[in-house]
Amino acid sequence: VNAEEPQAFVGLGPDLSETPDAAATVWIDAVQFEKGSAATDFVRREPVELAIDTGRFGNVYDQGRPVEVAIQGANASGAPARVKVEAELEDYFGKALPATLCVLEIPAGQTAKTLLPLGLKDTGYYRGTVSWDAGGVKHAQQLRLAVIQPYGADSSPFGVNHAPSTADLCSGLKQAGVVWV
């Protein structure tokens, strides 16, 4: 069954709505979508799969620190895999930047990870694509990120009317110079 949208959001776990004071620990592994009346054994979509992660909340980097993305791969095949990963970015105004690349070597039946430096030094907003070919199947993932000079003062004329709901969101606002709510 082909997915109708590029992303799906699923909630899995026990329904504790009838017992709001109850607590549970749930471990979930190997979730797959399939059409049918009974579940089948889990299989990967492809023998070699990659994941791209900035490791940065909101994909916001501090100026002066390395701007790179983590590339993690899993190889379920019986042969080693060599995957070339390339990033093509442009700045806010659409100016193309030099492409960067790395190679991820994944031993047979194992996982591996590496870092893909993006070569960004200047502050700004950037967008582009990270692409790779795994086993003859071409993949591309959109990437949007920002490089900012973090706000370092304790006070600011900027604020918001409603406080964010998480500590990460509060930190992101402070990093941008919004220090009161």
The H or E element containing residue 173 is helix 167-175
Cα 120 to Cα 91, 96, 132, distances in angstroms = 10, 12, 20
Q: Per-10-residue mean pLDDT for the chain, 181 residues long?
A: 77 85 84 80 86 93 95 95 97 97 96 96 96 91 95 88 88 87 84
131 HSE (CA, 13 A, CB side): 9
- Which residue(s) pair with 149 in the sheet? none
What letter represents residue 35's amino acid?
A: K
Question: Residue 159 gets which letter from DSSP?
Answer: B
What letter represents residue 98's amino acid?
A: P
Gap between the terminal Cα atoms of the chain: 47
Dist CA 99 CA 57 (whole Å): 24
pTM of the predicted model as reported, rounded to 2 decimal places? 0.74
What local confidence, expressed as pLDDT, does residue 1 receive? 64
Dist CA 43 CA 131 (whole Å): 23
What local confidence, expressed as pLDDT, does residue 31 receive? 74
